[in-house]
Amino acid sequence: MKELLIIAIGSALVNNVVLSQFLGICPFLGVSKKVETAAGMGGAVVFVITIASFVAGLIYKYILVNPAIPGNSDGKLAYLQTIVFILVIACLVQFVEMFLKKGMPSLYQALGVYLPLITTNCAVLGVALTNVQKEYSLLEGVLNGIGTSVGFLIAIVILAGLREKMEYNDISESFRGTPIVLITSALMAIAFFGFSGLI
pLDDT of residue 143: 96
Instruction: Return per-residue pLDDT of the chain as tens, 199 residues.
Output: 889 999 999 999 999 999 999 998 988 998 899 999 899 889 888 988 999 999 999 999 999 998 888 877 777 888 899 999 999 998 988 888 898 889 988 888 888 777 787 777 889 999 999 999 999 999 999 999 999 999 999 999 999 999 999 988 888 889 988 899 999 999 999 999 998 877 7
pLDDT of residue 19: 94
State the Cα–Cα distance between residues 7 and 22, nearest whole angstrom: 19
pLDDT of residue 150: 96
Residues 101, 108 contacting (CB under 8 angstroms)? yes
pLDDT of residue 84: 92
pLDDT of residue 77: 86
- Could you give the angle at which helices 122-133 and 81-103 cross, rounded to 10 degrees? 140
